Amino acid sequence: MSLAESAGTDYVCIVQLTDSHLFARDSGDLLGLDTLDSLNSVIDLVLNEIVRMDLVLATGDIAQDGSEDAYRRFIAASLRLPAPCHWIPGNHDDATLMQRLGNASGLSRDWVDIGNWRIVLLDSSLAGSVAGYLADSQLQRLDDALATAGERHLMVCLHHHPVDIGCGWMQPIGLHNTDALFDRLSGQGAVKAILWGHVHQEFDDVWQGARLLATPSTCVQFAADSRDFATDTLAPGYRWLRLYDDGQLETGVSRLPAGSYLPDPDAEGY
């Protein structure tokens, strides 16, 4: 189902952008791909396809080089969208700098209440590590969000994947304390979805009735089910979500035209 259909009144519309990997310089490239240009092309696609949006989520690796200029480039790009944006850091990000800039701009929040939903924003980044970890402060944030949500449905967002996605090379660089996360979420029927980035590919599964969702990058795509590092020729994209008042969820991925923004086929890592 496309969000280009007529908007309803019993849901909120969310757009997820992830893994933009921007640089301080204007034409910075990742594996031969201009990341700012591809991000703006994805935003053009969003503006062309989405009739209505209520919230934009940016789920980490906003910058490749952790520079302030890169974050300001993202902020400028996100302001093209007619909805508030909130972000969380990834392993390539400077989480402290993002918090400072995010506090000033409203991009950084512990959680967002919208419609009948609470969107929980967790920082799974760990300084100096590609893999992720939820610090005690983040687990407490989750505890507080669950305890005070009332009758709201919840979606939990982080950067790192908390489950095996079938890529051997990515398994060791996911979330390292998954038990701490799932122990808290187990039996929490109000939690309807867990959403992340990091993996540069689409993923959709179910755990205890909650959707497990990952989303293509706005730049380079990684090949699904790959044992070793491998890029994909799929185009950059984004995810849309409809979160209904009754707790139901509809979602899909939309991509730029096939053949758009192909990475260096000889790349062996990033």
Over the stretch 65-93, which tens digit does the pLDDT of each residue have? 999 999 999 999 999 999 999 999 999 99
Helices 68-78 and 35-49, packing angle to 10 deg:
20
Report whether pLDDT(2) > 80. no
Lowest mean pLDDT among 5-14, 22-31, 158-167, 198-207: 5-14
Q: How confident is the model at residue 26 (pLDDT cuts 50, 70, 90)?
A: confident
* pLDDT of the residue at 27: 80
Determine the Cα–Cα distance for residues 219 and 236; give it in Å rounded to an integer.
Answer: 5
Report whether pLDDT(5) > 50. no
Over the stretch 210-253, which tens digit does the pLDDT of each residue have? 999 999 999 999 999 999 999 999 999 999 999 999 999 999 99
* pLDDT of the residue at 97: 97
Superfamily classification of domain 11-253:
Metallo-dependent phosphatases (3.60.21.10)
Burial degree of 50 (CB within 10 A; 0-12, 13-18, 19+): buried
* pLDDT of the residue at 268: 76
